[in-house]
C-alpha cells in the first residue's frame, strides 16, 4: 500500500535541522536496514501488548515510522547498531515487514551503560509504557550495577527522589504482592498492603483490591494496626504520618517513625539509605544545611 502524504511539521525529529546539522550536534539522522539493528537484552521494558503492536504496525504500513528509533553503533559487531529507544516501533516495523527505518545515531560513550539505561527509562517513563515492576527493576539496576545514589538516579531520569524511593521499595515486596503488581494491581494500593505482615490478611485484601479505594484501604489498615498494637508501640497518628511523609519527600529516602508507647511523646525515627552518596547527602542535609 502506498504511503499517504502527511505533514511532518509537528515532528521535530523528522523536520527541522538538516542532516549536516544533526551530524555536527553528534546525533546524525540515518535510514538504516532493520536487519542491522539489534535489540538490547537489558531494555527495561519486558512486556508488549500484541494488539497494540498490531495497531502500530498497521499505522506504520500506512504512514511509515514517524519518530526515529534511537540507536548506537555496536561495540562488538562492526557495522551493526544497538537499539536504545523505540523497541515498540522496532517490533511493529518487523510486523509491517519494513526493510529500512529512520534512526538517530547516538555517538555518546558506549561504555557508559548507565547512560543507555537512563535513556531507555526516560523514553518509557515519558510514554507511560513501563509497568511498576519494570521501572523498579531498571532503577534497581542503576543503583546496584552502576552504584548510583537515589539523588543521581532522580537527576538522570528527571523524576523525583520519592518516585525513585517508591520503586526501590517495590523490590523489597514479598512474592504475593509482586504477583499482584505483575497482574496489574495499583502500585499505591500494593505498597499500602506491604505494611501488613500477615500473608493471609494480605490475601483477604488482595481479592477485593479492585473494588477498594486507596482511602478505604488506608483507613482499614490503620484501624487494623491500631487494634493489634501492643502496649510497647503505637500505630501512627495522622499527624505522625504527615510528618513522616514530609521528611521522606524532603530527603528522598524511606523514613519510619515509631512512638515508644501509645500517646507517648518519645520514640524514634529511622532513615534507610542505599549508597555512600545517599549517606553523605543525608549528612549534608542534617548537619551542614
CA distance 160 to 150: 9
289 catalytic per annotation:
no
What kind and span of H or E run contains 242?
helix 238-251
Residues 193 and 177 sit within 8 Å (Cβ to Cβ): yes
What number of residues does the chain have?
Answer: 289
Residues 151 and 277 sit within 8 Å (Cβ to Cβ): yes
Residues 84 and 44 sit within 8 Å (Cβ to Cβ): no
**224: buried, middle or exposed (CB in 10 Å: 19+, 13-18, 0-12)?**
middle
Residues 234 and 265 sit within 8 Å (Cβ to Cβ): no
- Orientation of helix 132-144 relative to helix 161-170, angle to 10°: 100
Q: Give the DSSP letter of residue 42.
A: T
Residue 10: count other Cβ atoms within 10 Å of its Cβ: 8
Q: Side by side, which strands form the sheet with 81-85?
A: 29-33, 100-105, 69-73, 81-85, 37-38
All residues at 6 or more sequence positions from 114 whose CB lies less than 8 Å from its CB, including other chains: 142, 145, 146, 148, 156
* Candidates 87, 123, 134, 281; catalytic one: 87
CA distance 159 to 194: 23
Catalytic residues: 87
Amino acid at each position: 500500500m502506498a504511503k499517504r502524504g502527511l505533514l511532518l511539521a509537528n515532528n521535530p525529529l523528522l523536520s527541522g535541522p538538516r542532516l549536516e546539522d544533526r551530524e555536527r550536534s553528534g546525533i546524525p539522522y540515518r535510514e538504516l536496514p532493520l536487519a542491522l539493528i539489534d535489540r538490547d537484552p537489558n531494555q527495561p521494558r519486558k512486556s508488549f501488548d500484541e494488539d497494540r503492536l498490531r495497531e502500530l504496525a498497521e499505522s506504520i504500513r500506512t504512514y511509515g515510522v514517524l519518530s526515529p528509533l534511537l540507536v548506537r553503533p555496536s561495540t562488538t559487531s562492526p557495522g551493526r547498531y544497538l537499539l536504545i529507544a523505540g523497541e515498540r516501533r522496532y517490533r511493529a516495523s518487523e510486523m509491517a515487514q519494513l526493510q529500512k527505518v529512520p534512526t538517530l545515531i547516538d555517538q555518546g560513550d558506549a561504555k557508559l551503560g548507565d547512560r543507555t539505561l537512563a535513556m531507555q527509562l526516560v523514553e518509557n517513563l515519558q510514554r507511560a509504557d513501563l509497568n511498576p515492576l519494570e521501572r523498579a527493576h531498571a532503577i534497581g539496576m542503576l543503583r546496584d550495577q552502576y552504584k548510583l545514589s537515589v539523588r543521581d538516579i532522580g537527576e538522570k531520569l528527571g523524576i523525583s527522589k520519592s518516585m525513585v524511593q517508591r520503586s526501590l521499595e517495590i523490590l523489597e515486596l514479598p512474592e504475593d504482592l509482586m504477583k499482584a503488581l505483575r497482574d496489574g494491581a495499583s502500585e499505591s494500593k500494593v505498597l499500602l498492603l506491604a505494611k501488613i505482615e500477615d500473608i493471609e490478611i494480605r490475601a483477604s485484601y488482595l481479592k477485593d483490591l479492585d473494588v477498594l479505594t486507596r482511602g478505604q484501604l488506608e483507613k482499614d489498615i490503620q484501624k487494623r494496626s491500631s487494634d493489634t498494637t501492643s502496649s510497647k508501640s503505637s500505630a501512627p497518628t495522622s499527624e505522625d504520618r504527615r510528618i513522616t511523609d514530609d521528611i521522606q519527600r524532603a530527603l528522598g529516602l524511606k523514613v519510619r517513625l515509631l512512638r515508644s508507647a501509645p500517646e507517648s511523646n518519645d520514640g524514634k525515627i529511622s532513615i534507610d539509605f542505599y549508597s555512600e552518596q545517599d549517606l553523605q547527602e543525608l549528612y549534608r542535609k542534617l548537619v551542614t544545611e
